[in-house]
Structure 1
Amino acid sequence: MDLFSFPPIAAVLEAAYTGLHALGLLVTPALAIVLVTLAVRAALVPLGRMQVRAELVRRRLAPKLRELQRRYRKRPEVLQRKTLELYQEERTSPFAGILPALAQAPFLSVLYALFVMPQIAGHPNALLDETLLGVPLGRSWLSLVGDGDWMSAGIVTALLLVAGTTAWFSRRQALRFAEPLVPGDAQSEQSHRMLRIMSWMPFMTVVIAAAVPLAAALYLAVSTTWTLVERTLLRRSLGLLPPEAPAAGARPRPA
């Protein structure tokens, strides 16, 4: 069964198509996608703030978490319970950091469907005829390269470079604000190895953007740029400083 033909999902898809098509008539379809992306990200600012606050809490709890892991490493069920209790005391969750990404998933899925389905609610999908600088919004970088359309692929490459640059700065920022390594502490060393691996994850956005329709790639480029700027501003507003270079006498402001 086609998931997008399921009545509730089909209704959401039809509403999204109608809204995006109407907005595209007022501006341009590409600009409509940018405006929708900005609106979605603005609505998710509270979750972004929660994410940065969770980063602050994790840093403060790191010594206690290492002690719990040392004490209960042979009793995983107790370790899990004690860890959750510690997070509950701080009124946060170990999963707070992934909430913004999960919240965006439905929007990206709908946008992807709008630019790959030839028909929406039984009528032709007019969005597939729309373009950005002459490149169809329904074409991906991979499909353009496969067809040898190097001019159009070059235009999309510029968008991928934006996403790649954002990913590079995001990785630098993640490493800069990471909890300092505790030499000789096995848990700390393991966490840092995992961090260095996970710090490359932003570049997955570039890979995905190359494979999805240009419309979805545009959403990803704008959204990841927003994330980088938002994270920088929120860290400053919450007083989160790089652990290796704290300002003299500075104290984090309460979240």
Structure 2
Amino acid sequence: MSVFDVPVSLAYALVKGLADGIGPVAGPAAAATAIVLFTLLVRLAMLPLAVSAARGERNRARLLPQVQALQKKHKKDPRRLQRETAALYEAEGATPLSGCLPMFAQAPFFMVMYRLFRSATVAGHQNVLLAHTLLGAPLGQNWIGLVGGGLFAPPSLVFLGLLALLAALAVWSSRRAARTAPAGAAGVLARVAPFGTVVFAAFVPLAAGLYLLASGTWTAVERAVLHGRAAAPAA
């Protein structure tokens, strides 16, 4: 018995229930729409973490000039730089990882969605969600498995559209990260990391890719709203 068995069963019941409920309106895209709704419910539940993450990110942006000064002062002594940077964050009540809380918290939900659309059976019953498609692309299939049927075949085009949207989100996230990213390898990693989602999405089921797209879009809107409100008093 896997640790994911119960969560997968619960997710199956929720996604299938949503798909059945919106079926008369969404038609063939009911299951795909249900996945998006499932993702939005997850992100809504994590809104308090997002508020905390936004606060932490504002603190990091405020401390960035001091961090850069420390990097310049101790560039030849990495251990001293690490100690001084940690002391600065501690003194200011900030943490470099606070902005990652929503990402870490939703990782189990993504794994549940991944397992759901990789399982032929759920709780001993046939997984009927695997029969659903989005514009002809099976929700349980990944892009790599479809390329053999033609790069520009209709199912492959669905994935290409998904990857293009994820790439646009990655560009936005990378540019945003560049505003507060520290110098050096850590800064480069912060700017490059968002593009890993695009590569990752090519190897996971379409359903998991939809989760990534819906979650990434939520993140973009969420940050724009939270940071817009935070910046308003200073304007």
Give TM-score scaled by structure 1 length.
0.78
The alignment of Structure 1 onto Structure 2 pairs a total of residues equal to: 226
- 120-129 or 64-73, which deviates more: 64-73
The equivalent of 2:154 in structure 1 is 151
1:112 counterpart = 2:127:
no
Single out whichever of 122-131 and 60-69 deviates more from structure 2. Answer: 60-69
Paired letter, 2:156: A
Alpha-carbon distance between aligned partners in 1 of 2:234 and 2:109, rounded to the nearest angstrom: 38
Partner deviation per Cα, 1:66-124 (whole Å, 9 max, x = no partner): 56664697593x76565444333433322102111111101100000000111222222
Task: Report the Cα offset of residue 52 of structure 1.
Answer: 2.3
Q: Map 1:75-90 onto structure 2 (within 5 A).
A: 76=79, 83-90=85-92
Q: 1:219 aligns with which of 175, 187, 211?
A: 211
Partner of 1:15: 10
Counterpart check, 1:37 vs 2:39: yes
Deviation string, structure 1 residues 146-182 (Cα, Å, up to 9, x no partner): 233721101221121111111112222222x236xxx
Which region of structure 1 is more displaced relative to structure 2, 65-74 or 99-108? 65-74
Aligned to 1:203: 195
User: Match for residue 97 of structure 1?
Assistant: 99
Is 1:162 aligned to 2:165, yes or no?
Answer: yes
The change in CA–CA distance for 1:192 and 1:238 in structure 2 (over 3 A counts) is: farther
Residue matched to 2:234: 251
What amino acid sits opposite 2:147 in the alignment? V
Distance 1:229 1:105, change over 3 A: same
Deviations 1:39-69 (A, max 9, x none): 1112222222222222221232234445666
How well do the aligned residues superpose, as a CA RMSD in angstroms? 2.6
Q: Paired residue for 2:226? A: 234
Taking structure 1 as reference, are residues 79 and 196 closer, same or farther at Cα in structure 2, changes over 3 Å only?
closer
Q: Which runs of 5+ in 2 are unaligned?
A: 23-29
Residue 60 of structure 1 pairs with residue 62 of structure 2: yes
Letter in 2 for 1:19: L
SS at match of 2:231: coil
Q: 1:63, 1:164 → 2: CA distance? A: 30
Distance across 2 between alignment mates of 1:213 and 1:178: 33
> Are residues 213 and 71 of structure 1, via their aligned partners in 2, closer, same or farther at CA, if it must alter by over 3 Å?
closer
In the TM superposition, residue 192 of structure 1 has moved relative to its aligned partner by 4.9
Q: 1:174 to 1:230 in 2, by over 3 A?
A: same
Matches within 5 A, 1:163-178: 163-175=166-178, 177-178=179-180
**Contact 2:36–2:211 (Cα < 8 Å) also in 1:** yes
CA contact (8 A) 2:56 2:99 kept: yes
Task: For 1:117 and 1:200, locate their aligned partners in 2 and report how far apart those are by CA, in whole Å.
Answer: 32
Contact 2:53–2:98 under 8 Å retained in 1: yes
Aligned-partner residue type, residue 125 of structure 1: N
